[in-house]
Structure 1
Amino acid sequence: MIAAASADAFSVPPSNRTGVDGPSWCEPGLTARSGRYPLAVEAPVMAAVDMLVPGVSTVTRYARYYSLYWAVAAHAEASRLNRDECRRLVRRAEVGMAVISKAYDDADGTLGLTHGVDALTRLHPPPGSEFEVADGAGARSYSPRSWGFWSQYNGPSVALGTVETDGGALRPGRHRCPAQVLAMYAPLFTACERGQGISLPSAELERLRLQQEQTPDLEPLRGVFTATLDSRHDPSLWSGDDRTRRATLRVLARCWQLHPQAKTWLEAFAAGVAYGPTAREDPVLGGEERTATWRGVVLRHHSVGAWRRLWADLVAAVGSDGAFRRQLHEWISDRLPSGTVASFVADLPPTDLDGDPHPAEDKLRRADAGTVTDVAVLLLGARRLDTLTGMARRSFAGRRSTYLDPTWVAQLRREFAGRSVADLGRRLVDDMLAQSRRVAMRKVAVGPHGTFALFSRLHERNGLYFADSAEGRDNIGLRIPQLAGIATQVGLLTADPAQPVTAQGCDLLDLPA
């Protein structure tokens, strides 16, 4: 017989007691994170833009940084810097550029200030110790990314041909850095290697500011972006990326010439390539095969934006309190007009006039009616499948049919022609919920110890949907504003309607004056 143990036999002295915070035998099995592109409707446009604007991204704003990394690669090769030494030089050079910009650039100027100025203002390193925020980590670093802003310019610089990477170290690309560009940055690199901060005032460093004009890097950058050598374009000397970038820049510049009163670069670009007879009748635009590709991309961009806005509004309707599918059906039904889909489509603006695309989507946006406008834009996209031809139609439709693409909407238009617009809206809600789940499941990441990460803002439990946070309503970028901004910085374009393209721009891009 086993004797009963006394309570004191199992007591633990106070000095030996430890606390337990939750179950200590397992880690959380699933974490939810915000996901990008929750409906995956953006891929065809982004893929086309990647092809048509190589060397420019939606986050590459400054031409000066292209020449900075161009020079860093040349200096790294000459000094035989390894990966870690290149990373230190890049981070210090970026902080140095921010110090120079903060001291010499006009914050209210056209370009504003360089990357990192906000971080310098927040960290406020004492003069002479600026590189501490370059070498530091965490809260005392100017950037949470190990390679700083180079992570934004890495891919574009490689595509541009100014930089290559070898085991992580920067090296010159197919376009060698000119001696005058390397000499321009030599004082900055000397300061970075000395490691004692940026000593100002300095005339040599001041010319590195963003708003400095007539610097030695501008002419070589013009040559790379326009694929010219000694002011002449010889296609045999340039890669496919170089020729495509030149073609897009040439189309953009011509559209700006033809529509200098447009409010934005993208508005001028769309007016030239997407709408009306200009793309067919103008000798420059009509003679460039990529014009038709851009037509399809610009028109497909409208459908992408409509889906993104519809989804953002649906997630907002769910909110943190949650909503059942029935409530989401009621939400969209209340926002759509009465009548059939066929009558609704018949009342929409024409997508073509005299055989050329008409800006029907822009007309609807000017009188934006929220959900009604977004559904109308999707139906206009489905109609464009019937009117576009050739390369424009291929780039508009995409390489293959996907969920929620214009072909999908066209099928719904036929299926719901005799039913109410509200019925169609409820089907769109169902399709968006199903697609968001497919996308989230496809992106599930398996972590250590068998944990999972789910990338989605919207979740469902027992039929109740709830949202972690709001979705952005903005459309994706086409990189035209970024390309135009860089072209302006290197002296090819201007913001002056009286002279939209400079004399150098006309000469290098072979455009009429």
Structure 2
Amino acid sequence: MTASESLEFLRRSETLIAAISILHEGQHAWLPRPHGADYLESRIKDGLNLGQLSRPGAYAGRSIGYKGQYQASEMLLGLLPTGNSQITAFDTSRLNDGFRGLYELTREEHLSEEQLRTNCHLCVCGSRTESDGAVLRELLLAQGAQPETDHDKRRQTVRMILRLIQLSSPTSINTELVDSLNYSPVVHHDELLLQLDAVQAWQGVTLRNRSVSAWRALWAGLVEAVPGLCHRSQFPTPLVDVLPNVSVGGYVRSFPQVWTPEGPAHPAELEQSAACESDMETFMATILLGSLRLAGMPDHVKPYFESKTDSLQEMSPTWLLDRVHEWDGRPLKDFAHHIVELLLRRANRLSLRKARFDASTGSIKIPTRIFFRDDLVFKDSNEGGGSVSLRLAPLVHILSGIDLLVRDENEQWQITDRGAEALA
């Protein structure tokens, strides 16, 4: 195939597989819908006009389809050629067998609903039983990977997730599974998890993610409260008004312990959240608890929570802990004013750093939602806020798509027989 023919085949394949998956999704309700499913669903009621819907600007907007979303991952796994792949070449005939009949179907201009339904082995759930799923299982589990390589780290991460789900049967990956990873005593006594260096790395990353998410949510809450225009001194009000009239030191000393005597993290963030009277106070307490975790943090966890370079940065846990010590006997509300003022300056500084001159209009474009004019602050839109994705939930969905995990009728994630074999 020429390059243009390959791209056309890619777009046609994506469109066809998405259409089949939509019609078959009643058999795999726990799996995410294909990209663009809402667009495509209303257009396949009388079959699939493959020639029209696979064109650029239709199902996939770009001429390369969804190649951009997956190319880097496929190169890393060895599914696409790369100059430094460390994965041994595999038998590509198994991929062809898993997608049998795909090429012939993509040459059709229109496919009936019956044709789509009778080729349900091409559905995204087909990887659970077809040979292409076996290839992906082998690549993700990376048997025989050399220690300290990316493939070994990926294998450890997959095994960690499988074991955590086997132990806890969570309904939510981003909350229940992560909380089990950080706070469950079982993690520190389980023979398999103790063998995986990735466990401590992910503990550091997820604990830091909690702090970062709280910073983002705090800023988003402050921006959302701006009534179009306000004085700079009023900007911190949504946070300051909900905090108690105590000193900084008195406030942090009222928090639950952050580490248990046995070593594992104590769920201080969860306990303190229940004690807070508002979301804004919860966000403030969470970032303060993150800084308190520095003392007593295990040596193998700390580098993933805060690197040496990161510790020198503004808003890092070390930076915040230093500020807490400086403000120990001073009012918490004044401290909140100080922190929010720093956030305002930081937002202005970062947006000006990204400013660009538009030669066509003679104007300067500043990518920001918050603007400053003397002592006035105004916004043109709200911040998104929310957690920074660690991609754990998408990985779980991939593992369920290759029959290592499944979601049961109670919405709980469970390990499959194949998943149990992967842990053996």
The bucket for the TM-score relative to the shorter chain is 0.7 to 0.9
**Contact 1:105/1:112, CA 8 A, preserved across alignment:** no
Cα shift at 1:433: 0.9
Aligned mate of 2:17, from 97, 101, 121: 97
Deviations 1:141-192 (A, max 9, x none): 22333433222222222222212479xxxx9x86446313213335222333
Greater relative contact order (Cα < 8 A, sep 6+): 1
**Letter paired with 1:235:** A
Residue 385 of structure 2 corresponds to residue 473 of structure 1: yes
- Partner in structure 1 of residue 156 of structure 2: 247
* Distance in 2 of aligned mates of 1:340 and 1:109: 51
* Distance in 1 of aligned mates of 2:421 and 2:238: 56
- Partner in structure 2 of residue 235 of structure 1: 145
**Letter paired with 2:336:** G
Structure 2: unaligned runs, 5 residues or longer: none
Identity %: 27
Larger radius of gyration: 1
**Contact 1:161/1:175, CA 8 A, preserved across alignment:** yes
Cα shift at 1:271: 4.2
Deviations 1:437-466 (A, max 9, x none): 232233334555576442211111232211
**Letter paired with 1:410:** L
Using a 3 Å threshold, how does the CA distance of structure 1 residues 330 and 222 change in structure 2: closer, same or farther? closer
What's the secondary structure of 1:455's corresponding residue? Answer: coil
* Distance in 1 of aligned mates of 2:340 and 2:249: 19
Using a 3 Å threshold, how does the CA distance of structure 1 residues 483 and 112 change in structure 2: closer, same or farther? closer
* Distance in 2 of aligned mates of 1:95 and 1:327: 52
Cα shift at 1:326: 1.0
- Partner in structure 1 of residue 193 of structure 2: 285
Residue 5 of structure 2 corresponds to residue 85 of structure 1: yes
Using a 3 Å threshold, how does the CA distance of structure 1 residues 177 and 133 change in structure 2: closer, same or farther? farther
Aligned length: 413
Residue 59 of structure 2 corresponds to residue 142 of structure 1: yes
Using a 3 Å threshold, how does the CA distance of structure 1 residues 439 and 144 change in structure 2: closer, same or farther? farther
**Letter paired with 1:340:** S
**Contact 2:226/2:379, CA 8 A, preserved across alignment:** yes
- Partner in structure 2 of residue 382 of structure 1: 291
**Contact 1:255/1:268, CA 8 A, preserved across alignment:** no
**Contact 1:113/1:210, CA 8 A, preserved across alignment:** no
What's the secondary structure of 1:181's corresponding residue? Answer: helix
Using a 3 Å threshold, how does the CA distance of structure 1 residues 455 and 195 change in structure 2: closer, same or farther? farther
* Distance in 2 of aligned mates of 1:304 and 1:122: 40
Aligned mate of 2:336, from 402, 422, 425: 425
Cα shift at 1:499: 9.3
- Partner in structure 2 of residue 344 of structure 1: 251
* Distance in 2 of aligned mates of 1:105 and 1:503: 22
- Partner in structure 2 of residue 482 of structure 1: 394
**Letter paired with 1:343:** G
Cα shift at 1:199: 4.3
Cα shift at 1:480: 1.6
**Contact 1:95/1:116, CA 8 A, preserved across alignment:** no
What's the secondary structure of 2:377's corresponding residue? Answer: strand
What's the secondary structure of 1:349's corresponding residue? Answer: coil
Aligned mate of 1:307, from 215, 238, 250: 215
- Partner in structure 2 of residue 214 of structure 1: 129
Using a 3 Å threshold, how does the CA distance of structure 1 residues 191 and 399 change in structure 2: closer, same or farther? farther
What's the secondary structure of 1:357's corresponding residue? Answer: coil
Q: Where does 1:351-366 land on structure 2 (aligned, <5 Å)?
A: 351-354=258-261, 355-366=263-274
* Distance in 2 of aligned mates of 1:99 and 1:494: 23
**Letter paired with 2:70:** Y
**Letter paired with 1:419:** R
* Distance in 2 of aligned mates of 1:239 and 1:453: 44
* Distance in 1 of aligned mates of 2:43 and 2:345: 45
* Distance in 1 of aligned mates of 2:81 and 2:274: 45
Using a 3 Å threshold, how does the CA distance of structure 1 residues 191 and 481 change in structure 2: closer, same or farther? same
Structure 1: unaligned runs, 5 residues or longer: 1-78, 228-232
Aligned mate of 1:269, from 162, 174, 177: 177
- Partner in structure 2 of residue 38 of structure 1: none
Cα shift at 1:120: 1.9
Cα shift at 1:295: 1.3
